[in-house]
Amino acid sequence: MAMSVGDKGEDAPMSDINTTPMVDVMLVLLIIFLIAVPVVIQTIDLALPKVQFEVTTTKPENVSLSIKGGPDGCEVYWGMTRVNRTELLDRGVAKLKAEIERQGGPTAAGLELPEVHIRGDVNTPYRCIGGTIYTMQMAGFVKVGFISEPEPGASTVRL
């Protein structure tokens, strides 16, 4: 490292800037970013479904639930009737038992269990929808699906 002492005497200010410390700091930052960026960018390769909109086949035995968040908590509707968590569980168990008995009992061949179709308002907190899914699984339902509304002008295509 060199040091400049001025040409016009000791009282004149020095107008040169020593850039060596700044270059050292920039090189250290460059090395840090080169090491840190690959760690941050790492992702797991997933094959996500490429379904834009899939037409749902509605069967009369399926359960249709509507969920929205209200000022007094979660509002769950079985059809058009508002139910609380215990009523939802009781109705779910009764519906499933009745459907199994209708098809010939639990040992019947080709037993097709009903599905739960959930319509959730876009502003509904996840705890409302997650709690409803959990309750319906506790009742014994295996298939739980979500009903959505396609974007205007979206085509019905299965990729």
126 lies in a domain? yes
Residues with Cβ within 8 Å of 99's Cβ and at least 6 positions away in sequence, in order, are 61, 113, 114
List residues bridging with 51 in a β-sheet. 158
Question: In this predicted model, which residue has the larger pLDDT, 50 or 38?
Answer: 38
Domain span at 136 = 63-146
29 lies in a domain? no
Q: Provide the number of structural domains found in the chain.
A: 1
Report the C-alpha gap between 30 and 68 in whole angstroms.
Answer: 50
CATH number of the structural domain spanning residue 76: 3.30.420.270
132 lies in a domain? yes
- Round the average pLDDT of the chain to a whole number and report it: 80
pLDDT digits (tens, 9 = 90+) for 50-105: 556 666 677 888 898 988 887 778 889 998 889 999 999 999 999 999 998 888 88
pLDDT band at 159 (very low <50, low <70, confident <90, very high): very low
122 lies in a domain? yes
For 41, what's the count of Cα atoms within 13 Å in the CB-facing half-sphere? 6
Q: Are 76 and 57 in contact (CB under 8 A)?
A: no
DSSP state of 153: T
